[in-house]
Structure 1
Amino acid sequence: MSLELVQVNMKAHDPEGLGRFWAEALGWGVSSEAPGVINLEPVGFDWPDPTAVCIDIIAGQEPKTVKNRVHLDLATTSAAHQEELVTRLRELGATPADVGQGDDVPWTVLADPEGNEFCVLEPREVYRDTGPIAAVVVDSADPGAMARFWGEALEWTVHEVADDHASLRSAKGVGPYLEFVRAPEAKTVWNRVHLDLLPRPTGERTAQLERLAELGATEVGLGDAGVSWVVRADPEGNEFCVLGRATD
């Protein structure tokens, strides 16, 4: 019995357009399970699998008003690859973004066509086998505490904990990292980008929700009655969905 981090969920005014951007950015395939829902995953991927964290893009008309607290870091293999990828992403519609990173960092901060910030990292050995997404990064007031919560929730391995950041990865040693970075800004609005978890087996969702509550997760009232997921928040208030059947 476990919980798997299966996808990053993004809200979008134009799901199809944003889906095309991220499919081209990552070299992934595109499908749609329902109107207003775009699913992105590696070509030939058998969902779910810890070798990749997929992306779901969902129609939503609420405006983006603040910097996202959850973003993607993209991996590169060389300085030339980083430069080529930034150029290609700009051609696809990405724009430079200023999140206070300054001028002397080795990574490039961009925003996708709907303003979602992401980073194109310089080559780093730690991300050599993650696939195109190096890490899913979450702003945090206490990275160490968040690593402990999420490490227990997902049964992932904590790799590093420092005062200003923490990282963890699937216990199988595959796929992208989940990282928490200290940020001074408090959370003020619900997250347009959030994590989706899948109980395995799906029929064990009730037990997993009880376990999450014991770890410190809280219920979130977002009108999810009758749908096949429930919404919870981690101890810092970051919303996430636990997928399953509406009857679970």
Structure 2
Amino acid sequence: MALRLVQVNFKARDDAALGRFWAEALGWGVFSEGPCVTGVGPLGFVWPDPAAVCVCVVTVPEPETVKYRVHLDLATTSAAHQAELVARLKELGATPADVGQGDVPWTVLADPEGNLFCVLEPREIYRDTGPIATVVVDCADPRAVARFWGQATDWTLHEVTDDHARLRSATGVGPYLEFLRTTPGEKTVWNRVHLDLLPYPGDDQAAEVARLRTLGATPADVGQGDVSWIVLADPEGNEFCVLAPA
């Protein structure tokens, strides 16, 4: 049994506007639109597909007030591409962000609703990931969190140290999922960016949730009410959703 990482879920004041930003930023399209929900994925994409982790934007009333523990790193192929992408993102409404990064080769930006993300300098490891190089999760213990997520999903562990862990889909396509050691802070509100997981066809959502709980996941209440998905938190308190089978 395993789950697929299918999308990064952004909470927003205006899902349609933020969805359009990310579609333009990634060179993707809007593949689904519903009341207060916008799905963004590669052009011609049929969801779900292991070649891409999509972006799902959901409208909520709460303003952005905390540093997000999950962010995207975007891939580039050359120094010129990096500069061009940063300039284009600023034209789309992104703004420079200072998170104490100092003099680094990547550029830190915030999208129009304040979500932080990075435009990386060219790196060989990300040459075939598509526009999203990696989904980065801040954590206190990369080894432990990577062990949980490696067991929760069918993703393969590629690298692990005390400071950093890297996983990727077992199919060897799409972005990486990385856990970066950071100074732990008290978590008092739910994350406004989280991961969504999907059972494989024929697998049972409830059985997968039970399995995740044996791995250390705990139930989470983010005010979701009566919905088809189940909200859990990983061992460090990061919320994620187990969607109903497609």
Give the alignment's TM-score, normalised by structure 1.
Answer: 0.95
Distance 2:239 2:125 in 1: 28
User: What residue number does 1:80 align with?
Assistant: 80
User: What residue number does 2:42 align with?
Assistant: 42
User: What residue number does 1:221 align with?
Assistant: 221
TM-fit CA distance, 1:203: 4.8
Q: Is the 8 A contact 1:202 1:244 kept in 2?
A: no
Distance 2:87 2:98 in 1: 17
Query: C-alpha deviations, 1:97-133, integer Å up to 9, x for none?
Result: 111211x211000000000000000000000000000
Q: Provide the identity percentage.
A: 71
SS at match of 1:71: strand
User: What residue number does 1:166 align with?
Assistant: 165
1:51-66 mapped onto 2 (5 Å cutoff): 51-66=51-66
User: What residue number does 1:175 align with?
Assistant: 174
User: What residue number does 2:93 align with?
Assistant: 93
Q: Bigger CA drift: 37-46 or 27-36?
A: 27-36
Q: Bigger CA drift: 180-189 or 49-58?
A: 180-189
TM-fit CA distance, 1:144: 1.0
SS at match of 1:83: helix
User: What residue number does 2:123 align with?
Assistant: 124
Consecutive aligned runs of 4 or more in structure 1 exceeding 3 Å deviation: none
TM-fit CA distance, 1:222: 2.9
Distance 1:158 1:146 in 2: 11
**What is the identity, as a one-letter code, of the residue corresponding to 1:172?**
T
User: What residue number does 2:32 align with?
Assistant: 32
Distance 2:180 2:203 in 1: 34
**What is the identity, as a one-letter code, of the residue corresponding to 1:131?**
G
Does residue 23 (structure 1) correspond to residue 28 (structure 2)? The answer is: no
Q: Is the 8 A contact 2:2 2:151 kept in 1?
A: no
Does residue 142 (structure 1) correspond to residue 141 (structure 2)? The answer is: yes
Distance 1:108 1:93 in 2: 15
Q: Is the 8 A contact 2:76 2:119 kept in 1?
A: yes
Length, aligned pairs only? 245
Distance 1:183 1:214 in 2: 26
Distance 2:183 2:78 in 1: 32
Q: Is the 8 A contact 2:167 2:176 kept in 1?
A: yes
TM-fit CA distance, 1:183: 1.1
Distance 1:100 1:42 in 2: 33
SS at match of 1:88: helix
**What is the identity, as a one-letter code, of the residue corresponding to 1:32?**
S
User: What residue number does 1:2 align with?
Assistant: 2
Q: Is the 8 A contact 1:2 1:201 kept in 2?
A: no
SS at match of 1:180: strand
User: What residue number does 1:244 align with?
Assistant: 244
Any gaps of 5 or more consecutive residues in structure 2? none
Any gaps of 5 or more consecutive residues in structure 1? none
User: What residue number does 1:233 align with?
Assistant: 233
SS at match of 1:157: strand
Q: Is the 8 A contact 1:136 1:178 kept in 2?
A: yes
SS at match of 2:49: coil
Give the alignment's TM-score, normalised by structure 2.
Answer: 0.96
Q: Bigger CA drift: 154-163 or 7-16?
A: 154-163
